[in-house]
Copies of this chain bind each other. A is one copy, B any other.
Amino acid sequence: MTIEARPTPAAQEAAPSEDPLALDRQVCFALAVASRNVIGLYRPALEPLGLTHPQYLVMLALWQHGGLSVKELGRLLQLDSGTLSPLVKRLTISGLVTKERSQDDERSVVVSLTPAGRALRQRAEAVPHEVVARLGLSQDQLITLHQALLPVLRAVEHATP
């Protein structure tokens, strides 16, 4: 996950050193820091709603799709039960969702929105705007980033485990 040396390094913005393990060459480091820091920008926006960023993502999934099993949440958010179980439990304690075993498959647990959970959506609609404003990126830059991330998301799915 390294930017390899190029014949014309002048074409690149951050001039890479000769060191193949230099931090500024590590795309994964940039990815990790960007992700951490942007999620950090969500914190002040989400705190008034009583949500963490992963909890916000679960709420987004539920607002979009209605009731979802833990398995479906895991597929949508790319998280396993070890992460989702306690997370959903906290959302339950917050009164935003309810859990009940599925009728037709007792193994499955369906997570559904409470009225409070549904009501929270209206306040959440301001969150993305607030974060973008804080970050100060243009729509074009966001779309460019999104477009650059899509191949990665696709690649990870087919990566050799």
Contact = CB atoms under 8 A, between A and B. Distances in A.
A116 interface: no
As for how many copies of this chain the complex holds, the number is 2
B137 A151 contact: yes
Interface residues of A, dominant DSSP: helix
Contacts of A158: 136
Contact of A30 (B29, B76, B153, B160): B153
Interface residues of A, number: 71
Contacts of A149: 27, 30-31, 34, 145, 148
Interface string A119-161: 0010011001101111111010111111111111101101111
Contacts of A135: 1, 152, 155-156, 159
Interface stretch (A12-20, A88-96, A97-105, A106-114): A12-20
Interface in A24-69: 26-42, 44, 53, 57, 60-61, 63-64
Given A34-B35, A34-B152, A160-B134, A60 B146 contact: no
Given A38-B1, A139-B4, A20 B128 contact: yes
7 contacts: A21-B125, A30-B149, A33-B78, A34-B156, A133-B160, A135-B155, A145-B152
